[in-house]
Amino acid sequence: MHSKNVQVSVVIPTYNRASYVTLAIESVLAQSYQDCEIVVVDDGSTDGTRDVLEPYRDRIRYLYQDNNGVSSARNAGIEEAKGKWIAFLDSDDEWLPDKLEIQMQQAQNYPHVCLHVANMLLINPQQGEIDYYHKIGFDKIIGKFRLVERPLIYLLQYTFAFPSTVVAKKSALLNARLFDEEISLHEDTDLFYRVSLEGPWCIYGSPLIKKFRRNEPSSINLSIKTAHQSYHYKTIVKIQERLQSEKRLTKTEHHAIKKYISRYSFIVGTSLKAEGTSGVRYWFYRGLIAYPKLKTFVKWILYNLPFGVDLIAPKLNASKNKDIKD
């Protein structure tokens, strides 16, 4: 697995996950595809991670840095990687044994593609294994496999790509300017939006990854530490507004982005209302001006009625992953 001219560099960022990171590494070592290296970036762990990785030091490249966040750790791994392709693996996730083999076979079959993404199994102690694409309804769109020339519209409609599920060309990641280290949430969504403009994607409908829902302290899991839903949605709006400045967007993509900025702005408003925080009407207004159409104006009027938000918000949130129709 160690060589100077590897095809795939597997980047595993980790922070205080000594209990799980070796399981992630073992799932890479067990791959049927072996033309790869493993780059583990320790983002300042204090729980003995270095010690548990010692037995693997002849099979991994170990990088240590002061704690600077997962985006910084992933970027450091990308920059040190020797492979033409980068595969990410979160340190609390695991791959099925044929994950890399299937995705690299697709890389050979479709050499013009810049990224390959696969379905995953959500592992929850209370619910067991859940097929993620089936859960969000994406399986009806993709089927077993789909080559998508312009994946951005799908990314706006469905949250279907996660770091542990993708293999991307290093050149595409570099061209897309890597992960934004200033964003503390949805940094992967932000990067995948930009990588979607670098070329076609292959989307594989069968699960190749196990993504675990673990009970971790807030110091490790940022999504637990940031409890307010409005903050999540504000970040999505920020990312999508910035995306509008990309010159390579088609007219259809520009149109879709404006719709989603409007939709998520309304969701921010409903979240703020639920949290009892100020700014509700401001975000409803932002939703209106982002996509100033008759339907949006009607929605804005209804949301500003004293009872309107309570009646409409559940319907809006339930439809977030559905196709947008004119």
DSSP code per residue over 168-220: EEHHHHHHTT---TT-SSSHHHHHHHHHTTSS-EEEEEEEEEEEE-----TTT
Residue-range domains of the chain with CATH: 8-223 (3.90.550.10), 228-318 (no CATH)
Q: In this structure, what token pair is assigned to residue 324?
A: 């947008």
Name the pLDDT band for 309 (thresholds 50, 70, 90): low
Note the pLDDT of residue 220. 53
Query: What separation in angstroms does the CA of 194 have from each of 155, 237, 254?
Result: 11, 15, 14
On whether the CB atoms of residues 276 and 263 are closer than 8 A, the answer is: no
Percentages (nearest 5) of helix, strand, coil residues in the chain: 45, 20, 35
Across-strand partners of 116? 167, 202
> Which DSSP helix (H) or strand (E) runs through 74?
helix 70-80
The predicted structure's pLDDT at residue 50: 97
pLDDT of amino acid 308: 52
What does the pLDDT read at residue 131? Answer: 98
| Cβ 269 vs Cβ 281: under 8 Å | yes
Q: CA nearest 82: which of 117, 25, 31, 39?
A: 39
Residue 1 confidence (pLDDT) above 80: no
pLDDT at 34: 96
pLDDT class of 322 with cuts at 50, 70, 90: very low
Q: What's the whole-number average pLDDT of the chain?
A: 91
Which of 19-28, 209-218, 258-267 bottoms out in mean pLDDT, i.e. has the lowest? 209-218
What is the maximal distance between C-alpha atoms in the chain? 65
Q: Residue 217's pLDDT band (boundaries 50, 70, 90)?
A: low
What mean pLDDT is predicted for residues 120-146? 94
pLDDT band (50, 70, 90) for residue 102: very high
Among 16-25, 39-48, 93-102, 268-277, whose mean pLDDT is lowest?
268-277
Average pLDDT over residues 306-323: 49
What percentage of the chain reaches a pLDDT higher than 70?
88
From the list 225, 248, 234, the residue with the least C-alpha distance to 279 is 234
Question: What does the pLDDT average to over 172-194?
Answer: 97
* Of the listed ranges 46-50, 224-228, 269-273, 280-284, the one predicted with least confidence: 224-228
Q: What is the pLDDT of residue 319?
A: 47
Q: What angle do CA 124, 126, 127 make, to 5 degrees?
A: 65
Q: Which residue has the higher pLDDT, 268 or 315?
A: 268
